[in-house]
């Protein structure tokens, strides 16, 4: 079983060797059929990231490609063309050509020949050919200077031509005039617009985004026209990348530690070059991080891939309703022991003006009693009002030894268009009394879990909502129930928890008790309510004002 990801590759000029090391580590993991691997569904990149990502998607053997950068190899000759000369006379001549002939410092012709040779061997001309070969969508970015925006090439576009535009660093590989190619007057390096082009991807519910960036480096103050231009371009692309990186979870971005900067092509080759000295270590480190990434994402928390509660097909609706009736008539009558229940909500929706959804987590510790437990039911009332249509549900079940148990999840309805979201969890192996205490965790997101507060907070009025549990299959109540609510720090003194008038009494949790349940989101504070010996429906009022 694979974990689906979309790759976002930052541009980096000479640092392309580090991106190649990461991608080769990914190729090695994919080749090991004994372990779960990462299935890349899409790649987006600018400049060097676009080139490396395209070669990966074209199934170029990156181990063999690296060998080409040894002495007398095609890659070695290519890098020599772009290596910075220390001759002041060379720089003077290049500058004169730029001003008088409007010619860039370096020609892209050697890079064009190199890429064409690699891709011709795979019979690749367009991005559609790559899609056909590897089933990977490749999105390459350039910067359109006429429209002042990012330009994304189409499936039908020529791959080599597109990559040359994406890597056309102004002045170095592209000037304001290039003869014989009208597009060259419009398109330059994609890193100018977005050097970490995460926004170019649309994220399906069952796919993760994995970013590859670089550790930020401190550089010397520019002391010449050349170093000033280099620093100006490098800074612009670095800031562009850092702004985009924030759109991904920090744990899903791998930062490569390259010892060379964007324009230090001369340090790539030779006995002490980066390909010889650093490549293997970077590949090893990337492989370790990728295996940790796989372990995190395969932690039995499989996201929903569809929203079945909006189903219009009447046959499907009747089947879902019928399955619920069978469950309610038979399995729902089998009671089991509830040892504890933890109900946690991060109320992002109370941050006025922000579109981030609320986060919800429920953890139940339970054990079988008289009869084996084969099916578990999760029901959420009024879920349509909450906006639970983001397809972010995730479940895991652990046995008494903290081993994951296999299961299948089916969505059902208690009646057509009821608005209630119900999941039936079918266990691969039934749970018997002798099996000890199990843990089930359920995570979800919604536009808001507190519509009664959000509308009032927007206009500065008091409001009230609730947090309620109703364990219908509890044999003799619940030993302990805890409600945890994380709210924006600015609203800490405005939001309170209190016993519902018709519920058993509980009490406020101390700050120490609240903090015992892990880190609190930045700029948020946590409040809590606890009850013991809970029988039947129980909850708290959440009050604003």
Q: Return the HEC string of 373-397.
A: EEEEEEEECCHHHHCCCCCCCEEEE
What mean pLDDT is predicted for residues 475-487? Answer: 92
Predicted local confidence at residue 33, as pLDDT: 65
Report the DSSP beta bridge partners of residue 174.
170
Please name every residue paired with 439 in a beta bridge, in sequence order, or none if there are none.
Answer: 365, 398
Lowest-confidence region among 304-308, 496-500, 514-518:
304-308
State yes or no: pLDDT of 514 exceeds 70.
yes
Examine the domain organization and report whether 322 and 289 are in the same domain: no
Q: Are residues 221 and 365 in the same domain?
A: no
47 counts as catalytic: yes
pLDDT of residue 303: 41
pTM reported for the whole predicted model: 0.55
Higher pLDDT, 447 or 104: 447
User: From the candidates 42, 47, 231, 238, which is the catalytic residue?
Assistant: 47
- Which pLDDT score, from 0 to 100, does residue 379 have? 79
Burial of residue 98 (number of CB atoms within 10 Å: 0-12, 13-18, 19+): middle
What pLDDT was estimated at residue 302?
43
* pLDDT at residue 309 greater than cutoff 80: no
Q: Given this model, what pLDDT does residue 371 score?
A: 92
CATH code for the domain in which residue 529 is found = 2.60.40
- From first CA to last CA, the distance across the chain in angstroms is 50
- Provide the pLDDT for residue 460: 66
**pLDDT at residue 241 greater than cutoff 70:** yes
- Are 224 and 98 in the same domain? yes
Whether residues 225 and 350 fall in one domain: no
Task: Please check whether residues 240 and 109 belong to one and the same domain.
Answer: yes
The question of whether 189 is a catalytic residue gets the answer yes
Is the model's pLDDT at 205 over the cut of 60? no
Are 345 and 386 within 8 A, CB to CB?
Answer: no
Pairing of strands 538-544, 421-431: unpaired
357, 386: one domain:
yes
- Do residues 197 and 190 touch, judged by C-beta distance below 8 A? yes
pLDDT of res. 393: 67
Banded model confidence at residue 179, pLDDT cuts 50, 70, 90: very low
Residues 286 and 402 in one domain: no
Nearest to 165 by CA among 300, 8, 301, 47: 47
* Domain closes at, from 301, 331, 350: 301
Q: Are residues 261 and 363 in the same domain?
A: no
Domain shared by 183 and 242, yes or no: yes
Average pLDDT rounded to a whole number, residues 263-275: 80
227 and 114 in a common domain: yes
- 3-state SS class at 6: strand
539 touches 468 (CB < 8 A): yes
- The answer to whether residue 16 scores a pLDDT higher than 50 is yes
Active-site choice (42, 175, 184, 189): 189
Q: Of 279, 301, 323, which residue constitutes the final position of a domain? A: 301
Q: How far is CA 86 from the centre of its chain?
A: 43
Q: Which of 301, 327, 349 is the last residue of a domain?
A: 301
Strand 373-380's sheet: what is its strand order?
373-380, 421-431, 407-412
Q: Which of 18-32, 216-230, 444-458 has the lowest mean pLDDT?
A: 216-230
214 and 319 together in one domain: no
Residue 247 exposure: Cα atoms within 13 Å on the Cβ side = 17
Range of the domain at 518: 314-544
pLDDT value, residue 365: 95
């Amino acid at each position: 079983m694979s974990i689906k990801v979309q790759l976002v590759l930052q541009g980096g000029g000479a640092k392309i060797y580090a991106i190649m090391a990461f991608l080769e580590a990914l190729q090695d993991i994919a080749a090991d059929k004994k372990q779960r691997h990462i299935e890349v569904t899409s790649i987006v990149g600018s400049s060097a990231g676009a080139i490396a990502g395209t070669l990966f998607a074209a199934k170029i053997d990156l181990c063999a490609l690296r060998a080409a950068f040894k002495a007398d190899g095609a890659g070695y000759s290519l890098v020599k063309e772009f290596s910075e000369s220390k001759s002041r006379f060379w720089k003077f001549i290049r500058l004169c050509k730029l001003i008088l002939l409007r010619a860039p410092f370096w020609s892209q012709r050697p890079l064009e020949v190199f890429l064409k040779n690699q891709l011709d061997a795979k019979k690749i001309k367009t991005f559609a050919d790559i899609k056909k070969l590897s089933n990977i969508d490749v999105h390459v970015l350039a910067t359109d200077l006429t429209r002042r925006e990012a330009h994304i090439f189409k499936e039908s576009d020529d791959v080599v031509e597109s990559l040359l535009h994406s890597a056309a660093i102004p002045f170095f590989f592209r000037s304001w005039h290039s003869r014989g190619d009208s597009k060259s007057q419009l398109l330059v390096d994609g890193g100018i617009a977005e050097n970490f082009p995460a926004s170019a991807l649309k994220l399906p519910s069952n796919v993760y985004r994995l970013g590859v960036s670089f550790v930020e480096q401190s550089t010397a103050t520019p002391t010449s026209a050349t170093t000033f231009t280099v620093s100006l371009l490098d800074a612009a692309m670095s800031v562009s990348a850092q702004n985009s990186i924030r759109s991904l979870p920090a744990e899903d971005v791998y930062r490569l530690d390259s010892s060379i900067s964007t324009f230090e092509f001369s340090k790539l080759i030779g006995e002490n070059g980066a390909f010889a000295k650093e490549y293997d270590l970077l590949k090893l480190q990337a492989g370790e991080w990728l295996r940790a990434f796989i372990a995190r994402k395969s932690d039995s928390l499989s996201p929903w891939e569809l929203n079945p509660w909006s189903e219009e097909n009447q046959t499907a609706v009747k089947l879902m309703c019928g399955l619920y009736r069978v469950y309610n008539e038979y399995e729902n009558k089998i009671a089991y022991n509830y040892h504890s229940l933890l109900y946690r909500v991060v109320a992002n929706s109370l941050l006025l003006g922000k579109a981030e959804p609320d986060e919800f987590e429920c953890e139940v510790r339970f054990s079988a009693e008289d009869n084996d437990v084969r099916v578990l039911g999760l029901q959420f009332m009024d879920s349509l009002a909450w906006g639970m249509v983001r397809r972010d549900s995730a479940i895991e079940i652990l046995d008494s030894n903290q081993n994951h148990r296999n299961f299948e999840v089916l969505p059902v309805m208690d009646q057509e268009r009821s608005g209630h979201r119900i999941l039936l969890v079918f266990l691969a192996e039934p749970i018997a009394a002798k099996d000890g205490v199990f843990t089930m965790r359920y995570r979800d997101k919604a536009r808001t879990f507190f519509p009664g507060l959000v509308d009032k907070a927007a206009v500065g009025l008091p409001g009230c909502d609730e947090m309620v549990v109703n364990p219908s299959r509890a044999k003799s109540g619940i030993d302990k129930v805890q409600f945890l609510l994380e709210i924006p720090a600015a609203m800490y003194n405005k939001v309170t928890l209190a016993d519902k008038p018709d519920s058993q009494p509980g009490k406020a949790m101390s700050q120490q008790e609240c903090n015992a349940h892990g880190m609190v989101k930045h700029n948020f504070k946590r409040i809590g309510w606890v009850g013991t010996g809970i029988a039947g429906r129980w909850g708290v009022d959440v009050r604003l004002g």
